[in-house]
Amino acid sequence: MVKMEQENQPLQIYYKKQYENNEKYDIRIFQGFDILIGKNENLNCITLSNENSKINKEIEKKESLILENQKKIEEINKKINNPLNNEKNLFSMKEERIAEFKKQKIYIDNALKRFASEIKGCSYKIHEGNKYDINDIKNDIKNMGNNCLLSEYEIDKFNNILKLEKKNLNEIYETPINIIQISNEVEQILKDRVKPQKIISKLNNDPKKSNFAKYGLDIHKVGEKCGFCGSIITADILNELENYFSGTEIKQFENKIEDKCKELEGYKKILESINIDLNNLYTDKNKRVQEIDKKINEKKLYYINLLEKYIQKLKKKRSELFDEIELDLPELLNEDKKLSDYIAEYNKLVREHNSNDLLKIKKEAREKIRYNEIKKYLDGFKYGVEIEKMNNLEYHKKNVEEDYFNKEEARKKLMGEIDNFKKDIINLKNRMKNVEKAVNNINKKLRTFVSFELSLYNENEQKERAFYRVKCLRSSKYRSVKELSTGEKNIIAFLYFIEQFKDIEREVPGSIRVMVFDDPMSSNDDTKQYLIINDLQRIMRKIEREDDKKLIILTHNCHFYLNVKHDRKYEDDKLEYINDNKISKFIKLISDGKKTNIEYVKKREDDFTTSYDLLWKELGNLYNNNASSDILYNPMRRILETYIKFNCLDQGGFYENSPFFKKACDVNSHSIDDFEHDLSGISKIELINDFKSCLEKNHGEKHFKEYSKKYKIHP
């Protein structure tokens, strides 16, 4: 159950306010005779179309708007039509701006055409294909950007590319030289000292003496004097020295030095063979290749000199096997980029060169040269200045054209409005004519169920309103409007509302039309009730087949509710009647005087089946939902009245033992007009006890117990 705070106002007004600005719904609310239908007591007539006077005013308003629009169109025509006698207006201004713009555009286009022809006729081809015209040069101007002027160096470079033929280059052999490792190995050899296997006492393990003795062995023969001591060198001395220096360790060390020297000589030859081909590269990295070549040559020369220095050091070491020789190379150890790095970079460029599409490179070169020529021509022609001039002319032209276009659109809009106004006038006039048709339909129903019909009062007059009199079918006399009962007025209003709903077009095209009937059974006898129920059921059957219409019925009348919903299905019946369009939504609004409780009835078991059952249910809801005690009087009175009638009891005798409750019910439920006494100062429990006592005194004790148990009324 949902509880909703409700304003103290009629529900149809609340509903209208809630949805009046919602374009999805076109709400039409039945609000009774006084609002829907007017009356003229002087003529003793009713006005069935209270809209006809409004319609005439609307027609006059539409006609006035047509005249206003026609005047506006005349003013616009003076501005946008071709003027006479060379007068100036928006049309002539537009033509002038168009002519000025075209003239400047033709001037620029002619200049571009001439230069496009020059490019096409150039002795060396700098464009693609056999065609080159104004469209091509405009496309080049769009793509080339501002920084397309070339230096002399770049022009030569791109011209040389155009002369190239496809030729693959060889990569440089990546040398295995690791100069740092070589340096460390050489340094280690220079630091090592050989140890002889045999000891000569005279040398005393002195490296200098040993080196001197080795040198003497190489230069002396048997019988010669020693250059150091002057003694005669004997065969024994030479044999002893040869044995000393021919030991295994010394020999191995000498071989190691010799091998390292050969290795370094081999590295020198590898370095000397490194050369870069600078003549056949057509890559755009030529400048970088030249830089790499320079760096490689610098590194190559440096490494060759370094290796030569190492070789000389090793040769010196060979003559000084027993001494350490220093090797100081601080710069080598701190170099930022190795020779192999430059070789790898060059080889990468060579691979790019070999994989490049020469046709593509030549195309790019032609493009660069062509852009350069176009840029020089445009600068000489002052293309930027001329384009700016043309753009300014185009800007003013567009402004005038936009103004002209807006005026044309305004004229079209005004003409369209005139057409719509004329259509509206036709529709309004048709609506005035529909009153007679509606009355004929109403009379057909009235003749069947009641004893009167509606008769046109001023049928021979030119009328703005349709006045109708009420004619008695039995006597053919006209009845006074004042004599019409509330029920008779209500049935006329009800039938006319339905006829209006059929004829009136939607206020918003495509919206959902909603008919709202708020208690349409007010003050109607059984015959008129049957007519209303019959018409509402007919509307419901029609709406079942139309998705763009809805029907909402509000009522306090249980008899009417039970009859009008006959054969309708509840929401919980959807599974059983899945293809049945008779599924409806039932809602109970139960007020306790402060709030209105909204209860959705989704299945037949939750609904009531008789009017009397509804009265007890209403009493139970009010009692259990904190309603004030005075709200309970009305359902109590109606229960007691129904009980009296059903059991054929005498009303005076029934209330004989409960005069207080009889008077209290009448006062608080407005059955009589005596409001001088306020009898509502009784509590809810006291009131229920009096109500119970009233039934018990008239043999209704069991009756009260059954219904109070069913609807939880426990005082």
Residue range 511-520, pLDDT digits in tens: 788 888 887 7
Residue 3 has φ and ψ, to the nearest 5°, of -100, 135
Residue 9 has φ and ψ, to the nearest 5°, of -155, 160
pLDDT level of residue 5 (50, 70, 90 thresholds): very low
Query: 272 and 224, same structural domain?
Result: yes
Query: 658 and 589, same structural domain?
Result: no
| 455 closest CA partner among 476, 437, 469, 475 | 469
Please check whether residue 561 lies inside any domain of the structure: yes
In the chain, what is the straight-line distance between the N-terminal and C-terminal CA atoms, in Å?
A: 24
Please check whether residue 510 lies inside any domain of the structure: yes
Strands across the sheet containing 512-518: 25-30, 512-518, 549-554
Place of tokens 């020369």: 301
- Does pLDDT of 460 surpass 50? no
DSSP line for 441-453 = HHHHHHHHHSSEE
**Token pair belonging to 574:** 């959807």
> Tell me: the pLDDT tens digits for 487-538?
788 888 888 888 877 765 555 567 788 888 887 776 555 567 777 888 888 8
Q: What is the mean pLDDT of residues 13-21?
A: 59
Q: What local confidence, expressed as pLDDT, does residue 413 receive? A: 94
CA distance 3 to 6: 9
249 neighbors 195 (Cβ within 8 angstroms): yes
Q: What is the four-CA torsion angle of 665, 670, 671, 673, rounded to 10 degrees?
A: 120
Place of tokens 């005082």: 715
**Token pair belonging to 111:** 């200049």
**Token pair belonging to 191:** 């630091």
Q: Among 571, 591, 606, which residue terminates a domain?
A: 606
Global pTM value: 0.40
SS3 content of the chain, % helix, strand, coil (to 5): 60, 10, 35
Q: Among 606, 641, 672, which residue terminates a domain?
A: 606
Query: 599 and 626, same structural domain?
Result: no
Query: 263 and 346, same structural domain?
Result: yes
Can you name the residues that pair with 600 across neighbouring β-strands? Answer: 587
Q: What local confidence, expressed as pLDDT, does residue 113 receive? A: 92
Query: 620 and 487, same structural domain?
Result: no
pLDDT level of residue 411 (50, 70, 90 thresholds): very high
Please check whether residue 63 lies inside any domain of the structure: no
**Token pair belonging to 140:** 């080049």
**Token pair belonging to 99:** 């002519």
Please check whether residue 361 lies inside any domain of the structure: no
Q: What local confidence, expressed as pLDDT, does residue 593 receive? A: 64
> Tell me: the pLDDT tens digits for 590-639?
776 677 778 888 887 777 667 788 788 888 888 887 777 778 888 888 88
Query: 624 and 597, same structural domain?
Result: no
CA distance 605 to 626: 25
Q: How far is CA 422 from CA 414, 430, 508, 536, in A?
A: 12, 12, 19, 36
| Burial (CB count <10 Å: 0-12, 13-18, 19+), residue 560 | buried
CA distance 207 to 194: 9
Q: Can you give the residue range of the structural domain that contains 300?
A: 179-355
- Does pLDDT of 123 surpass 80? no
> Within the chain, what is the greatest distance between any pair of CA atoms?
186
Please check whether residue 655 lies inside any domain of the structure: yes
Query: 586 and 632, same structural domain?
Result: no
Identity at 153, one-letter amino acid code? Y
- The 8-class DSSP code of residue 197 comes to S
Please check whether residue 466 lies inside any domain of the structure: no
Q: What local confidence, expressed as pLDDT, does residue 282 receive? A: 59
Please check whether residue 132 lies inside any domain of the structure: no
Decide the pairing of beta strands 512-518 and 25-30.
parallel
Distance of CA 499 to the CA centre of its chain: 46
| 637 closest CA partner among 649, 625, 655, 621 | 655
| Burial (CB count <10 Å: 0-12, 13-18, 19+), residue 53 | middle
Query: 522 and 620, same structural domain?
Result: no
Q: What local confidence, expressed as pLDDT, does residue 575 receive? A: 55
Q: What is the four-CA torsion angle of 561, 562, 567, 573, rounded to 10 degrees?
A: 80
Query: 200 and 329, same structural domain?
Result: yes
- Does pLDDT of 172 surpass 70? yes
pLDDT level of residue 157 (50, 70, 90 thresholds): confident
Query: 343 and 214, same structural domain?
Result: yes
399 neighbors 98 (Cβ within 8 angstroms): no
- HSE, CB side, 13 Å, CA atoms: give it for residue 591: 12
Q: What local confidence, expressed as pLDDT, does residue 114 receive? A: 92
| 489 closest CA partner among 53, 35, 43 | 35
Query: 186 and 40, same structural domain?
Result: no
Query: 666 and 561, same structural domain?
Result: no
Q: What local confidence, expressed as pLDDT, does residue 506 receive? A: 55
| 6 closest CA partner among 510, 595, 528 | 595
Strands across the sheet containing 586-591: 2-4, 596-601, 586-591
Average pLDDT, the chain: 78
516 neighbors 552 (Cβ within 8 angstroms): yes
> Tell me: the pLDDT tens digits for 289-343?
888 888 889 888 888 988 999 999 888 888 777 778 887 765 654 566 788 888 8
Domain count for the chain = 3
Residue 215 has φ and ψ, to the nearest 5°, of -65, -40
Place of tokens 């022809």: 117
CA distance 562 to 657: 35
296 neighbors 343 (Cβ within 8 angstroms): yes
- Does pLDDT of 93 surpass 80? yes
More confident residue, 432 or 148: 148
Q: What local confidence, expressed as pLDDT, does residue 3 receive? A: 28
More confident residue, 251 or 702: 702
Q: Among 340, 355, 370, which residue terminates a domain?
A: 355
The lowest-confidence range among 11-20, 174-183, 373-382, 685-694 is 11-20
- Does pLDDT of 8 surpass 50? no
CA distance 547 to 581: 11
> Tell me: the pLDDT tens digits for 195-228?
655 555 555 455 555 555 555 655 656 666 665 6
CA distance 531 to 545: 22
Please check whether residue 432 lies inside any domain of the structure: no
Decide the pairing of beta strands 549-554 and 38-40.
unpaired
